[in-house]
Structures are given as C-alpha cells and as structure tokens.
Structure 1
Amino acid sequence: MTATKTNPGRFFEDYRVGEVIEHAVPRTVSGGERALYHALYPARHALHSSDEFARACGLPESPLDDLAAFHIVFGKSVPDISLNAVANLGYAEARWLRPVYAGDTIRASSQVIGLKQNSNGKTGVVYVRTTGRNQHGLPVMEFARWVMVRKRHAEAPAPETVLPDLADAVAPEALVIPGGLDFSAYDFVQAGEPHRLSDYALGEIIDHVDGVTIEEAEHMMATRLWQNTSKTHFDATPREDRKRLIYGGHVMSMARALSFNGLANAQVIVAINGGSHANPCFAGDTVRAWSEVLDTAPTQAPGVGAIRLRLVAVKDGATVGALRSGDGKYLSDVLLDLDYWALMPV
C-alpha cells in the first residue's frame, strides 16, 4: 500500500473567508539576495546599492530592495494560495512597514478576506491579506491580493460570494517612513540624477527609454530565488500554447529597475495603491516602461517627500502614455499597471 504524503495544493473550494494560513519555511536573507536581485534586474537605486549612501541618509546600512522583500513575502504565500493559480490578478493596500536588512528572518501569514466563483464554474477568485514579519515578530510589510484559482471539481458547490472592501489608495498620512530616514544632506551626484520632488509635475509622463527582453532562464531563476512554486511559471503542460507564464513580480521588478532612468531619486517604495497584471508576459517579450506622476505629498521626515506614480510596463513597440482602448479595456501590449508611493528628496 502506498501512502500519499505529497501536497497537491489548495483549490478554490478549499478556502473559507476568515481563515488564517501560516505559511511554511521562514527565510533568512543575506547580501546574496541583493547581489542576485541586481544580477537579474538593472536595479541601480543608490539607497539599495550602497551601505555608505544609506548611512548618509540616516539608515544603519543598505536595506534589501523593497520589491525583493515583497517577493520573499509573496513567495512564502504561494504554496498555500496560488499553487493552482491560473493567474495572479491584482494588489491593493500594500504598505512597507519597516526595512528588511541582511540577517533578518522573514515569515508570512495570510487571511482569506474574499471569495467569488467565476461564471465558468471551473475557477474562482480568492482574496487574501498577507503579512510578512521578521524574527522579532514585527511586521515588515502587508498587502492584499487576489488570484484566480482552479477548482478541484467543477461540480463542487460555489461558496457564498464575499467581496472585500479595499481602499482605492493608501492615504499619504498612512505611509510608514523608515526610522531615521533623512534626505536633508542627499547626494544627488552619487544618486545619479539631479531631479527632486519639486521638479515633477502632476500628469507628467516619463518615458524610461530602455528595454529588456525576458528570457526563460532568468525568469525561472528569479522565481526560484523567491521560492515561488506556482506551477504556471515552470510547467508548460497545462497551457494549450505550451508556454510558461512569466511571474508578474518579475515584470514588476524589471519595470521598477527600468524606471531608474528618469526616477533615480524615487529611492524607497512605501506603498502600492493598486496593481493589475493586465496581460500575460512570455519569454521573448521585450519589456519597456513609462511612468505618470499622480500626486505628491509632504512627510514628517527631514528632506523627504512622497510621490505617487503610475508605473506601466509594456511590450516593445507600445505607445508611451497609452493604457486603455475606447471601451476601457487595457491595450493588448500593456503588461502591468502599478500605482505606488515612493519617497524622494524634496
């Protein structure tokens, strides 16, 4: 007799609103994560590249890139939330609550906050709020996301529909500024660009110019780096087109890194107001990016202001500034629409 000890992952009908799921395998981070992150993406923001620059800005050392911390927390949740996902659909109410430094150990938990079966009866959308904590039990970040998950049995009864009430944006006063952050003696030469918060106008569109062609090997290395086990990123057999879906976070990090050209001083991501993976990305696609300035706000930290940006990742050849068609749907060459707050010198 053969005993079954493997875990096929959760399916849509396995979730219950209100349940809290503690995710397995805490992870201690080191400078290796930073080096690999910078090898995978053209990431050059000075605060995450130089201990000396970070110390001059009031921090004890250079923290892990904000999106790298996000990927680690996200990856912890995948075996319990999106192992059987069709696609990760979007984000809301994400806040970075304290920096992650080399030596920190990160773990995560998620609470199911909503469920909605799709009309085809074969899939449903699961809404969760995920929190990452360090070795002291202190939260380092939190975010809501929703993901389309397969049903184990199409004939299984649909759960009661519960849709969470999620804010359209994180209020500026709810942004958490890293303790000690001080841009009053900010070194613009070392940062790479002279532009400060007052140089950006509401509605301004910034073409980040550069592009990177996505490769199978790099995306799979990145996804494994974050211990993201979602089958759709590795196993080509379930898809009719026999393609691996590029992890949406890979596109996020690529677009954020490309945004350095024009937003080199947007040093710290402190919140994601909303985000959508508008269309799938596959190996061979060339990713480019543009940003729109949506808002600015003061903070209590010396020399530090907040800028709200829309970061749009597109396939090569897309028109800068073009997002939706006349019917309100995303254009087919739009990959990512990310609305976030960042900190920069005033």
Structure 2
Amino acid sequence: MAPSIAVLATALAALSTTVIASNVWTVNCAPLTIQRSDPILSLGTDSSHVHAAVGSTAFSRDMNGINGAADSTGTTCDKFTDHSSYWSPALYQITDSGAFQLLEFTGMNAYYQNYTCSYNADAPGYCQGVRDAQAPPAGLRMIAGDSKRRSYDDDDLWQVAILMEAGNSGEVHGMPETLDGGRISGHARFPSCWDGVHLDSDDHRSHVSYPDPTLHGDTQGGMCPSSHPHAMINIGAQFGFNLAGITDPSKLVWSNGDMSGYGFHADFYMGWTDRDALTASFSNCFDNNNCPWRSFGSPTGTDPNPKKLLPDAPPPWENLGAFGPLPALPGNNPVTDVLRIRGRRAF
C-alpha cells in the first residue's frame, strides 16, 4: 500500500534536518570567578575595576601567550573544547546609604554566527551567499566596547555593538528605562574581521574590525573591509546578573563607575582547543540542540552542560562586596551619573 501524504511529509521533514546546516549556535557558560583582573588591559597587575569571568579556568591577571587561555584544566562552558575566556564588568547596587553591594553574576551565553565573509573586491555586497568565516586564530585577544564611554553615537559600530536587556524586554543601547524579569544582561558583539597578522594591538582594537558598513556590513556580519580582510566567526556574548528585586535602574552601576550603560564592554581571549572543528561547526550543526556533541564531541557522548569551577590559580584576596556593601567601588572608581539617552531600541 502506498504511504500516506502525512507519512511522506514526516519523512521529508526528517530528511531536511540532516541536510540543512545552522548559521547560529550557542555557547553557555557558568560563572567562573569575580576578581579585579584583566589580562588584556592590565596584564600582571590589578585591573582598574572588577570583572565577572567565565570559561577557561586559566583566567588570571597573569594569563598570557598564544595558549594562555587554552592551557587550562577545564572550562565552565558547555562546549568542553571551548577553553576561551570571556569577561565583563561586574554589576553593583547602590544602596540607600550610598554604599555598593555586589550583585550575583549568573553566567554568560554566547551566540556563534556564520554571518561574515572575507574581503573580495570583485564581489561587493552582503557576501552574496558566500560566507567563509574561520575560527579566530589561537591566542587572539579582543575587546568590544569602551569602559570610558558615557554617551552614544549611532554611527559608530564599536558603540552600536554594546547593548543591554532587562529580562526579555528587548535590547536597548544604554541602561534600560525599566527593569523587568528579575535579571539584566550586558550584550557585546565582538568584531569579526581580522588583519591576518596581529593577535593584539596597542589599543587592543586596531588588529580587528567590524564588517564594512559601505558593503552592507554591521556588527553582526557582512563583508570585511580591505584593511581587515579575514572573516572570523561572529561572537555575540550576553553576561547575566540577578537584580535581586531591584526595579529602579538608577540603583545600578557597573564596576567601572558607569551608570549610563554605554561604558559596558567585554573581553575575549581565544582558547578553543580544536580550531578546525570550530570552523567546521556550521556544517556539522543542524540546529542548536544537535550542535554540542555532533560538532565538538563529548566525553560521555551526550550533550554536556555548563558547570561551575574554580580558577586554576586563586586570585589575590580582596573584598569586592560579596559579604556586604562597600563604601566605594573596588579600585575607587568614581560614579559617573550622566544624563542618559534612554530607550533607544536596537535594529
């Protein structure tokens, strides 16, 4: 007897999932540590402000070199071959007495996207269906955002790449007007174009770039400029914090003293242990749920989960506010309570 139309439809749907690759999948990471360290901007010494970090257990103020992040005993991320380090400012509550209470860091989710293509003078436009993004080079270090920023320019992709979201209310530039859902997250879209030579630069940004806006590029993809012709996988990281019942955004301040939200930033230190598998992941991932074990393997043959770990080297002890409010932000960062441009929606 011939199969029914319903049976044929089911079979075709099942077949399609085996041939359609995904352009997006996620890395989910549990918290690793909160400490005043930043091995990109403050190598070997105290950072100017407190950071919340996930990923490689090698994270420390002395982490350095091409394998600085990769050479670790583990990772807090669910992709067990991702020994990269990701970090952002920590978040504080300003109490009624003017003290500073550290808020709970809940971890990070990162969207890995295949939306960028290398520069090609003969094929202008938005990649025209050709996306050749590669894994970042081993040991690459880069920063999205600017800790000193307190205003917003919609024409600057480095600023457009920084957003915030309260609950699931939608991304905005700057501190949200209202706090919903009991949590807030800072979002950073990292540059996805590389000069092909340098793993870092003096200003920690000249060696990388966002796709060229004149070639229909933006912070999430497009064609790379001729100055940075090599396309990398785009990484959009979201760092989450528990609001602990706070509903007034004027009670929040990032550890760098920023209340505007425009000074949020994030750092990435490449530490994936298998670059080839990372580059091939978009061919091997048929949807986000099938991606972890299929593309990267798993010690148990099942999808791994993020897990809390401790750094391989404990940081120097410092009271960062976990045990009660502090009279000043660690590092004595002044609070800049500037007039905010609120509610600017992301496009």
Under TM normalisation by the shorter chain, which class is it? under 0.3
Q: Return the structure number with greater relative CO, CA threshold 8 A, min gap 6.
A: 2
Name the structure where strand makes up a greater proportion of residues. 1
Rg bigger for which structure? 2
